[in-house]
Chains A and B, each alone.
Chain A
Amino acid sequence: MVGLAVVLQPLTPHPVFPCVLPMRTPLAWFNLTYERRRLLTAIAGVSFAVLLMFMFKGFENALYDSQVQLLKVLNGDIIVVNRLKYTMFIPEQFARRRLYQAQAFEGVEAAYPLYTRDGAYWKNPETKAVRPLRVLAFNPNDPVLNIPEVLAKQEGLKLPWTAIVDEKSRAEVGPRSAGIVTEMAEQQIHVIGTYSMGTDFASANGNVIMSDQNFLRYFSDLGPEETERDLNTVDVGLLKLAPGADANAIAVALRQRLPNDISILTKPEFVAMELNYWRKNTSIGFIFTLLTTMSFVVGIILVYQILYTDVSEHWVEYATLKAIGYSNRYLLTVVMQQSLILAMLGFVPGYLIALVLYDATTNATGLLMNMTLGRALEILIATVSMCLISGAIAVRKVQAADPAEVFGN
């Protein structure tokens, strides 16, 4: 590995005072940048590879982030679900009695049942097209979700046939502001407001929140082919603990004492279980890792091409340097410096465009595409590695430059 100390030359400025040493002529920088058009093409290439990596990684993270959006706003320290429900997708309920049993334990202050239904058909008020949404229902007096707009609509939700709609639902759902009247599950519904959450795979088109009484009105009397619901079976149970209580200890105690038909998880464990399902049990992880790796390889090839072209075209000059007395090691550092400069110059535009596209995607799909410092750093490291690898391959060409051949005919 070429010594990093050699690559990072002391960058002291040109001397104003005699005591300050000027730096070595930055041959790598000049060779890379003196032809504007070629430089722009090179930067465009690297930026594109960077952008690809950002987008693929971004989609993967968006899918994961989106799945747990709802989970993160659940107002509970311990979550109770049917043992079979290892992901929110699975429509298994557990007996509400279990929540009463849990409430009796020390440290548990309150237990809130949350009812969900996937695939509730919502009619678009304008186009009259019907789309499935997910319904979340609970007693409006229970602070089940940590969303201010929901808490604000507590009283409104107690009225019959009312609901509030997630404003991040997809456009096909139609206009969703307060006052809209349309149909859900073939019954009339009044929209009294909106809130902001976001879609995921389980709620593909959007979410709707209503009271548990309204839940019964819509879903308890549906006819022979539909599964009917009542309030004795709960989809997700939330346990609120006393302040300062140890969630892990209480969860352990609950697991020991309560029967085995339910799973008891702390909220972080519940989120982790959901993420784990999407990582392990679907092809998402594999597909996106494959796509990101392919972008990485494309980037290596692009950068290698650029470096190789520089070395080939200036082969005679580099060989002359060798003849003058520069070592192979110096030329290696020139190539590696060029690859690092390309990495930096290509990363910035790629990052900026990625920010724009992340925003656009979030608006278009409702999925949560988020740029964090950690994710940007991850791709930065990948970009730098990509350029260093190309550099290491291109370097072999420079080593082969034979100074003796600069002479002669």
Chain B
Amino acid sequence: MSDALSLSNDSRTVPIEVAPAEMAVQICDLNYYFGQGDLRKQVLYDVNLSLPRGQIVIMTGPSGSGKTTLLTLIGALRTLQEGSLQVLQHELVGMNQRELVEVRRNIGFIFQAHNLFESLTASQNVEMAVELMDDRRAKRQRAIAMLTEVGLAERVDYKPKTLSGGQKQRVAIARALVNQPTLILADEPTAALDKKSGRDVVTLMQNLAKEKNCTILMVTHDNRILDMADRIINLVDGRLETDEEIDHFMDNHNPKNLDRHMFMTL
């Protein structure tokens, strides 16, 4: 058991030699702190990570391990101090707010809560994302097409108040995917969904990854969908503990012997 969580080089995957330009996300020696001065607390220690295009990666770890922080950093939602973080060929360290906003537009975000506007219909919520790319001409068609793909064709003009929890999450996912981003960051996307919907959604994301060479980084505790990933990363106390290809992970992790710390939920 402890082997799986140790820092031994066997379990660490070395990415195939590809030209740096092919990497969707490239992180070198990243350290991140909260707070300032005496109250400064370090939350990420020497993180090194490379995510190639088209790879589906699941990030796990106990709560408080910094997974969400790392996700927000990759998502260009925070300003960075030390190290190097390249997302879609943009170096985020040293960027100002305006530049960070530009980078965010190329990333699809899927949150744990749906965060939809109650005052807008499903279609309008998705259209908000389409309008970001200044495509007003076909925005409704694109919104409807995306909603159809997530299985909500009959609900396009319904407000969130009249949708179920799972349906709302699917609208949020449609919103994230409608612009066909090259990087998708997801935080527990299937937590509110039943087995079938959850499966459908990850299948959708998987197809997108394969067709459009889109990278997916997902934080999740849902072991029903582990098999859709290419790679599993484990973050503990701000450090990258393990980073394995899926086959290797499956071999080493008999579900019965899973260390419960890995899937500690809140």
Q: How many A-B residue pairs have CB under 8 A?
A: 84
Is there a chain A Cβ closer than 8 Å to B142's Cβ? no
Is there a chain B Cβ closer than 8 Å to A344's Cβ? no
Which residues of chain A come closer than 8 Å to B106, judged between CB atoms? Answer: 325
Which residues of chain A come closer than 8 Å to B115, judged between CB atoms? Answer: 316-317, 320, 406
State the CA gap A23–B117 with chains docked (Å).
18
B136 touches A325 (CB 8 A): no
Using A325-B104, A327-B98, A406-B111 as known contacts, say yes or no to A27 and B120 having CB atoms under 8 A apart: yes
Most buried by B among A23, A25, A314, A316: A25
A21 touches B77 (CB 8 A): no
State the CA gap A33–B175 with chains docked (Å).
23
State the CA gap A195–B65 with chains docked (Å).
90
**8 Å CB interface, B100-154 against A:** 101-102, 104-107, 109, 111-113, 115-120, 124, 127-129, 131-132, 136-137, 139-140
- With both beta carbons as reference points, the residue of chain B lying nearest to A321 in the complex is identified as B128
Which residues of chain B come closer than 8 Å to A321, judged between CB atoms? Answer: 128
Is there a chain A Cβ closer than 8 Å to B232's Cβ? no
A407 touches B71 (CB 8 A): yes
Is there a chain A Cβ closer than 8 Å to B78's Cβ? yes
Expressed in whole angstroms, the minimum distance between the Cβ of B235 and any Cβ of chain A is 14
**8 Å CB interface, A393-409 against B:** 403-404, 406-409
Which residues of chain B come closer than 8 Å to A328, judged between CB atoms? Answer: 97, 101
Size bracket of the B interface: 35 or more
Expressed in whole angstroms, the minimum distance between the Cβ of B141 and any Cβ of chain A is 11
Which residues of chain A come closer than 8 Å to B1, judged between CB atoms? Answer: none
Which residues of chain B come closer than 8 Å to A327, judged between CB atoms? Answer: 98, 101
State the CA gap A34–B140 with chains docked (Å).
21
Which residues of chain B come closer than 8 Å to A21, judged between CB atoms? Answer: 136-137
Is there a chain A Cβ closer than 8 Å to B187's Cβ? yes
Is there a chain A Cβ closer than 8 Å to B213's Cβ? no
Is there a chain A Cβ closer than 8 Å to B75's Cβ? yes
Size bracket of the A interface: 20 to 34
Q: Pick the contact of A31 from B116, B119, B175 — CB < 8 Å?
A: B119
Expressed in whole angstroms, the minimum distance between the Cβ of A124 and any Cβ of chain B is 62
A324 touches B132 (CB 8 A): yes
State the CA gap A408–B115 with chains docked (Å).
13
State the CA gap A22–B136 with chains docked (Å).
6
Most buried by B among A21, A23, A24: A24
Which residues of chain B come closer than 8 Å to A407, judged between CB atoms? Answer: 68, 71-72, 77, 111-112, 187
Expressed in whole angstroms, the minimum distance between the Cβ of A40 and any Cβ of chain B is 16
A23 touches B136 (CB 8 A): yes
A34 touches B118 (CB 8 A): yes
State the CA gap A320–B171 with chains docked (Å).
14
B120 touches A30 (CB 8 A): yes
**8 Å CB interface, B190-239 against A:** none
- With both beta carbons as reference points, the residue of chain A lying nearest to B124 in the complex is identified as A25
Q: Pick the contact of B128 from A15, A25, A408, A409 — CB < 8 Å?
A: A25
B117 touches A317 (CB 8 A): yes
Is there a chain B Cβ closer than 8 Å to A326's Cβ? yes
Is there a chain A Cβ closer than 8 Å to B63's Cβ? yes
Is there a chain B Cβ closer than 8 Å to A323's Cβ? yes
Which residues of chain B come closer than 8 Å to A406, judged between CB atoms? Answer: 111, 115
**Closest 9 pairs (CB-CB, A-B):** A325-B105, A34-B119, A30-B119, A325-B104, A320-B115, A404-B77, A404-B72, A408-B68, A403-B77
Which residues from chain B sit less than 8 Å from chain A, CB to CB? 63, 68, 71-72, 75, 77-78, 97-98, 101-102, 104-107, 109, 111-113, 115-120, 124, 127-129, 131-132, 136-137, 139-140, 175-176, 187, 266
Given A24-B131, A27-B120, 10 other A-B residues pairs in contact with their CB atoms under 8 A: A21-B136, A22-B139, A31-B119, A33-B119, A327-B98, A327-B101, A328-B97, A404-B72, A407-B68, A407-B112
6 contacts between A and B (CB under 8 A): A30-B119, A34-B118, A320-B109, A407-B187, A409-B63, A409-B266
